[in-house]
Amino acid sequence: MSAPQIHPQATVAADAKLGAGVRVGAYAIVGEGVHLGDGCVLHAHAMVQGRSKIGRDNVFYPFCVVGGDPQDLRFRGERTELAVGDGNTFREYVTISRGTMSGGGKTTIGSGSLFLVSSHVGHDCHVGDHTLFVNGATLAGHVTVEDYATIGFQSPVHQFCRVGRYAYIGASTVITQDVPPFSRVVTERETKSYGVNTIGLERKGFSEERLKILARAFRLLSRSKMNTSQALVEMRKSLGDSEDVRELIRFIETAERGIVK
């Protein structure tokens, strides 16, 4: 492998250690006490802080902060650590905190994981191999996530919880207890339609008559005793002269995942 390539506008601490083939982009920062393994890539504006030992072939996208100070009011600058394995990807705005002395002093990340935009791993967490953190997935401190687990979009995991191997946490699910391995955990979905977006449509210039017709269509759809197919027949029969209603009917008839009612 070739020698490290460091952009002239990057900042690399004097005691940082860079393996063969490491690339550090413009305005990226490699802090004191950082060890970057062979083949790591820091895109522009990425930041890795120390003390952090990073394995091979990890990729850091713009504005991620890996190895930052723990978000703990008791932290007073103690020398704590982050250890990362090989082949992980940290997308934009990901944050990974080092440990705290009270939590053992070390955060660990395994190998082969993907951390999507704005996901967060708090201090003293231990993440296994081949995990997936979807956008906004968040671990509080002292959480353990085992191999092949998925943490869904905007799902927070409470302090000291464990997520077992191959577990799947669905989007927007709040975790306050341990998640067993192989399980699927998803919060209840109670999304409902409340009829016509009257104020928004008024602001877009819809007339009172258009709004009244749409309101009748939505009453047939969601407040009558008819099922969706029966409601569409009645909408076409009694309101079919309205282009708005015809658009609504076309949309419903082409829905592949059903509609919110």
- For the annotated catalytic residues, the residue numbers are 123-124, 141
Q: Closest Cα to residue 252, out of 220, 226, 225, 229?
A: 229
Question: What length is written for the chain?
Answer: 261
How far apart CA 81 and CA 103 sit, in angstroms, is 11
Q: Which of 27, 130, 47, 123 is nearest to 88 (CA)?
A: 130
**What residues contact residue 154 under an 8 Å CB cut-off, 6+ apart?**
135, 136, 137, 138, 171, 172
Q: Which amino acid is at 191?
A: T
Residue type, 11: T
Residue 217, token pair as written in the block: 């269509």
Of 69, 66, 87, whose CA–CA distance to 77 is shortest? 69
The answer to whether 145 and 151 have CB atoms below 8 angstroms apart is: yes
**CA–CA distances in Å: residue 247 to residues 61, 210, 214, 254, 258:** 42, 13, 11, 11, 16
